[in-house]
Amino acid sequence: MSINKEGFLLTEIAKICKGELIGNLNNDSIINDLLTDSRKITSLDNCLFFALISKRNDGHKYISDLYQKGIRNFVISILPDDISLYANASFILVKNTLKALQILAAYRRKTIDIPVIGITGSNGKTIVKEWLYQLLCDDTKIVKNPKSYNSQIGVPLSVWQMKPEHELAIFEAGISEPDEMDKLQTIIQPTIGIFTNIGHAHDENFIHSAQKIAEKLKLFTKVKMLIYCVDYLEIKELILKSEMLRNIPSFSWSRKATANLSIQHVEKNSKKSTITAIYQEKLIAIDIPFMDEASIENAIHCWAVLLYLNYSNDIISQRMKLLHPIAMRLELKEGINNCSIINDSYSSDINSLSIAIDFLNQQQQHKKKTIILSDILQSGREDKDLYSEIADLLQKKDVSRLIGIGNAISKQADKFKIEKVFYTSTDEFLRDFLFSNFNNETILLKGARIFEFEKISQVLQQKAHETVLEINLNAIVHNLNYYRSKIKPETKLMAMVKAFSYGSGSFEIANTLQFHHVDYLAVAYADEGVELRKAGITLPIMVMNPDEQSFDTILKYNLEPEIYSLRVYSLLEDIIEQHISNKQQIVNIHIKLDTGMHRLGFEKNDLSELINRINKNPQIYVQSTFSHLATAENNIFDDFTNLQISMFTEMSKTIIDGIGYPVIRHILNSAGIVRFTNAQFEMARLGIGLYGIASVGFEQKELQNVGTLKTIISQIKTIQKNDSIGYGRGWIAHQEMSIAIIPIGYADGLNRKLGNGKGKVLINNKFAPIIGNICMDMCMLDITNIAAKENDEVIIFGEQYAITNLAETIETIPYEILTSISRRVKRVYFQE
């Protein structure tokens, strides 16, 4: 069975995967594209969807929707209930769809006989892979993982990209638990192995680090060369104990011991690092435009690879000087003229372009979507074929406009059937394009480094001061999935996005949640819901604090009000009577029950009249009943929490029996989801936990940090003994001291209680006390014992200094800190 540029016949894939072909048996489709995420369709006729089953999701749920969109080829492990509904579909029935995907990718790998570099380790995998690509792509047609596609799913999707015209493959492999690497080795089948290093990632899933190293070493059992650093003693010891070097040659490097490449000296200056080493008894050197230790280590790994591949050090040193940073994340920022800017301007290849467009399409705040795209360099393909494929991709992904920059893409202008304009260079675009033409749209910057798209980014970004709140969208998704794993598959999830999503930003967070299929959103006030609707959010939205003036807006934008008293119910009825002429139109409501918190909500003696009034008004439909737990996080009050749950069950039953139809019930908050799993009912509400802050101490290690508030040092001064600092002479220097002024103050949300030595921030991994009274727009720090310079980064809170610790300093809660961050602080959203 042979492979060609066009891919495999569906019948061949069925045989390879040992599956049974069911349905349309006359299907002669040639499969080019494999799809595992129903939201990321790139083609219809030549696409094969694998219905993967995970702990949190089941791809079989999306078959009907994909069929409606035009997908006709599926790999499944469960037949649809009524297969007659899919008359034109072909199904390959297998026992395990993930295993089938991996078998297919492994088969493809076997059909292409080229060198394959396999990379694993705790850190640096993606950087080493991308730098090797930069160093080798001028000579060699290379295929590699897009971004960090290194998982049990990402690796087979990456290997599937291999084609006969490729001359080298570079694939990274990541694991998180035992017994995973064997599968990835079978798929990648590397001929050259690189073990970058070992760290603490995923330690919780292994007995000890030796077990984790042994698992990673399984990738290299059949390589022809293993490249590693002997300075990682555990790696060295495990390699020696395994006796794998009896059959496998190795290329080692070290900064401490004798090795094939012995590093002698690393000299750093303000712009570069010079690395000197002895190789084959000769003194050689390279310069790299980086000074951090991680980059130095990653560069030496690449150096070792190129020396093994017999590149002369003259060529290596020339290319090393040109290494550029790897953007590990896509950034979403506010732009000029109410635009949103997605910056992915450090790389340009068709695989990463597809990923970036998927992120672009997650953003629903603007209907118009523009891509500014440079020439794609070193693709190894004819320009005509390459840009025809890109044009097809943009059209299928509903991109509104293309701005092409570069000679190659400009020459292929006729391939693009959407709104388009072309420039031969970035400078020409900046000079000739009228930037007022950008309005109310999302703009994706996607360019090769040489085109310097950072110049475009600077023009497009909305101007703001240096203080920013970075929001990690990957962490939002991780935390969402953590709580999803705690509830039953059939239990719905309502995500709280009130108070500007706890200060993190409304529609950006809501877009992510909608993309990842939460069932409901909740806001505090109607105007928050309106903002989401205008940004393209279509999910049901509950408004928790409706008032008389907002009901007409609630009805206009299809929002769903919380009803917590007979007075509010009467207001709603009046608005319905006045504003809804169509008596068939239904208004969904959510009934709030007071089960002991004694805030808003109906009490037991209110229910009889409420039920009577609901039954008399056919335009009102009860979507849910719900209540708030007062102390779900505190086991001291578990008896009270259970009493609340019992009362909620009873009161909900009274309503359901009274109105004669079932409703959604929800009482669990973030803490309740973890601690009271027997009270999930039909839905649970996820609030602060979504944003990486645990309500229950033991779960904090399971959550990822979402928000990092950071700024820079504006100025550094030397203060003499007995001089005062700040308003009111709030701080007196008891000795000569060095201070830093940073552009964040109480108008940005920095609590004034943190002043005069009570609070602290992080500079270059050291804590600096906040001294003097905090001003409106800035504050001062004591950096006497810290090596710092102007423009250095300052962390107010984040991964290294938790917001919970900051809150404890002034005896408050993280909620208050987050929701106090002013909207003038620019939010920057990123996704890796």
Residues with catalytic roles:
498, 727
β-pairing, 760-763 vs 737-742, is unpaired
Neighbours of 703 (CB within 10 A): 19
Chain position carrying tokens 């992915």 = 344
CA-CA-CA-CA torsion sign (700, 704, 709, 714): positive
Helix axes 313-320, 293-308, angle to 10 degrees: 150
Phi/psi at 571 (5° precision): -60, -40
Phi, psi of 129 (to 5 degrees): -60, -50
Q: In Å, what is the CA distance from 566 to each residue of 22, 61, 457, 636?
A: 58, 40, 53, 34
CA 100 to chain centre: 27
Q: Which two tokens stand for residue 531?
A: 């903002």
Q: Give the whole-angstrom CA distance, residue 778 versus residue 726.
A: 10
CA–CA separation, 443 vs 357, rounded Å? 10
Comparing CA positions, the residue from 186, 182, 32, 33 lying closest to residue 109 is 186
Q: Give whole-number Cα distances, 40 to 77, 151, 360, 388, 707, in Å.
A: 21, 18, 11, 19, 27
Alpha-carbon distance 175 to 461, whole Å?
37
Residues forming beta bridges with residue 588, ordered by sequence position: 621
Supply the DSSP string of 290-317, one letter for each residue. Answer: --SHHHHHHHHHHHHHHHHTT--HHHHH
Three-class DSSP category at 179 = coil
3-state secondary structure of 92: strand
CB burial class (10 A; 0-12, 13-18, 19+) of residue 85?
A: exposed
Residues recorded for the chain: 832
Distance of CA 254 to the CA centre of its chain: 35
Cα→Cα distances 502→156, 259, 524, Å: 38, 53, 11
| Radius of gyration of the chain, Cα coordinates, nearest whole angstrom | 30
Task: Specify the pairing of strand 330-334 against strand 340-344.
Answer: antiparallel
Contact 560, 589 (CB under 8 A): yes
CB burial of residue 639 (10 Å; 0-12, 13-18, 19+): exposed
